[in-house]
Amino acid sequence: MSKSLLIVESPAKAKTIGKYLGPDFEVKASVGHVIDLPPKKLGVDVTNGFTPEYEVIDGKQKVISDLRKAAKGKETIYLGPDPDREGEAIAWHIAQALGKDHNFKRVLLHELTPTAIREAIANPVTISKPRFESQQTRRILDRLMGYLISPLLWDKLKRGLSAGRVQSVALRLIVERERAIFAFVPEEYWSLTAEFLTEGRTFSAQLHKVDGKKAELKNEEQTMAVVEAVRGAEFTVADLVNKERRRYPLPPFTTSTLQQAAFNRLKMASKRAMRVAQDLYEGIDVAGEGQVGLITYMRTDSVRVNDQAAAEAMSHIKENFGPDYAPAKPNHYKNKKGAQDAHEAIRPTSILRTPAMLKGQLETSHWQLYDLIWRRFVASQMTPAVLDQTTADLAVDKYIFRATGSIVKFKGFLALYEFGKDEEKELLPPLVKEQKLKPEKIVPKQHFTQPPPRFTEATLVKELEGNGIGRPSTYAAIISTLKDKEYVDAAKGVLKPTEMGFAVTDLLVKNFPDIMGVDFTAGMEENLDQIEEGRAEHLDVLSRLYNPLAKDLETAKAAMANLKRDGLPAGVDCPSCKAEGSLNLRYGRNGFYLACRECGATCDFERDEHGVPHPVDPPPQEAVGECEKCGRPMVIKKSRYGHFMACTGYPECKNAKPLANPVEGGPVTVDTPPPIPEGYPTTCEKCGSDLVVKKSRQGTWFISCSGYPKCKNAKPFPSGIKCSKEGCDGEIVERSSKRGAFYGCSKYPKCRTIIKGKPVNTPCPACGHSFMVENPKAKTDPDAPPLICPSKTCQAGPEPKA
């Protein structure tokens, strides 16, 4: 029997570790968290010290039972979930679930190699209560925000929406960027280029200064004045500077820089990149080695590298690139302010596993990401690239034109990790001071300033990290949520807010100004770090951060705009009553639409390049008639099923009538329901209420109980045409489905007779069939008979026999 038990998070990780530890260890997986806050209620007692109400996650009872069985008789239980806050919380909860009678030890597995695993087992630590409290504080705050604010959005806008501590601020950044694009006014400017030919080589110089000041050409007139002044003139090389420039390698990847590079270079979404990195960390089958961890822990914001890994990289560089490519001592990089240094940077667990060796053994996405990580790490330990750069100033009168050129003299790290296509520029031809040159041509070009670009996943990650919002390990999940909730559209690689994204942001920013602030969210991350480092009490932090939330929440319950009922002012004139700025943006079953505060008319809309909503497909005409129930005006509205007439007193008065094929500018005709046929019951057999005729969403008439929704008795409208199937006592009625209206037997599903075409209560003169159907060809072919027989064997049918 194994003497010790090691519990990790994932089965893949357990498999990788198990083969290195031998028979003295049993390795089991918890498959993530086993205990958490309840999913269907708040689960936090804010009046009693923010006490969390933890419970076993649904489906994890068997996991805990298996872990308890495995723990019996073990001398030591090692807890090895991921070495971060979430991993600490998993370890803490597993220890609670297994009981206090065991000897628990915490192991931090930064990489899954034999040496690292054995070293971690040999040097265990105690479970960190401050780190657990930091995670618990984050979890409680996220729960408070999500479960207290989200229901407000459900009530005021749409069920299923969510608010989040970092998610909502990230969405705000995207929305504000989009509005900056809307507000951007392009400005004209011009460039002026002189093209020269000397010693058989061409080069170009751009206007740089005028009268010693930076050149600014704002219009064609200014530009052409300069063109006329220098046309045909002789230029003099007034200044010539040759210098050597060094370009230094970038540090190895952190979580955020890996996500950025994966998106920019591999077009890999953040969520996918983190999933692939997790696989590489936990272990993948490699020929001759079995399952092995290929990279170090992938959730880190440190650029630190241990001396052994750096030495291994330098040895590889000298052997494969030459001594000039390796520095005299390892390159060390400084962490950004506020970065946690618990883990190393992301790097290969062994430099000797080159991407070439693993080619064909890994899935494409796994190999691509490993190749990127390997190259970035090895390049970080190489010498800088050396570039020769030449700058030449060419003078004519009061104008200075500048030409620049550079070429890579020594590639250094660029031999392995290229920055981009513009690294190498052709050197200028040989020039000497006071040399005289005449341009071959002068080229003016018009330009316009460009708006700020929309965020991509990579630039949003960079923006979040730069503002200290959230942690890099959460960015992939945040971006995924924004897309899943349809707050943003991620088409063509850019994040563009949807109407829902705009509306949610506007509601939250107006009603929760404290917690929606970038500074507030960034400050909270600092508080969580202080808790983890033992410099702050988690209850103090919870109280300090909860107070503004509670204050805003009370105000928002009464003041938050209801987009279902009232909407938000759109600042657009009504196309029906012409009332100035009277349209509100509202949300209904069909999505967002515009509704007039004055006349109640509704219409769809689209935004122009400035973000202003413009009505499209307005109602067919202005207000028509009075409501017979309350006396207020009746207006034309539109739903997903077409136009209808409704009372402007909605929702107090819900009087509405269908319209018969309204035409813009034409008369408004109410689609009057047919009377209930003679002899048909007029009272509901279930509740005794009157029966009425209604129209379905698919446009078919049916008979319904007037007591709806208390009584939901409904039947197809009778046609008086008996079903032709032998032995069936039903009749042919108009029915509806998702595909539209059709005709079938009222005894469905017992009788599945379906008629193609509208039936007419006229017997077939050829075969005596009890009814005929309208011929669809008669609408376009005047020679076609108006009625045909539904029987396929009849000569008067749709396919008469020869």
Instruction: Compute the C-alpha angle 331/336/339, nearest 5°.
Output: 110
DSSP 414: G
User: Peptide bond preceding 384: is omega within 30 degrees of 0, i.e. cis?
Assistant: no
What tokens were used for 331?
């390159």
Annotated active-site positions, please? 297
Using a 10 angstrom Cβ sphere, with 0-12 exposed, 13-18 middle and 19 or more buried, the burial of residue 418 is middle
Q: How far apart are the first and last CA of the chain?
A: 87
C-alpha dihedral, 216 to 219 to 222 to 227, nearest 10°: 90
DSSP string, 732-763: EEEEEETTEEEEEETTTTT---EESS-EES--
Alpha-carbon distances of 141 from 133, 239, 519, rounded to whole Å: 12, 62, 16
DSSP state of 328: S
The letter for the amino acid at 517 is: G
CA 635 to chain centre: 39
| Inter-residue contact 101 to 30 (CB < 8 Å) | no
CA 65 to chain centre: 38
Note whether 406 and 245 are within 8 A (CB). yes
Q: Please check whether residue 653 is in contact with residue 627, taking contact to mean a CB–CB distance below 8 angstroms.
A: yes
Helix (H) or strand (E) holding 78: strand 76-79
The answer, yes or no, to whether the previous bond of 651 is cis (omega within 30 of 0) is: yes
DSSP at 295: B
Q: Beta-carbon neighbour count of residue 311 at 10 Å?
A: 14
Q: Which residues contact 428 (CB under 8 A, 6 or more apart)?
A: 203, 390, 392, 403, 404, 405
Tally of CA atoms within 13 A in the half-sphere of 686 that contains its CB: 12
Residue keyed to tokens 């695993």:
117
User: C-alpha angle with apex 417: 419 to 292, nearest 5 degrees?
Assistant: 135
Give the angle 366-369-375 at the CA atoms, nearest 5°.
Answer: 135
Strands 104-106 and 76-79: parallel
DSSP assignment, residue 559? H
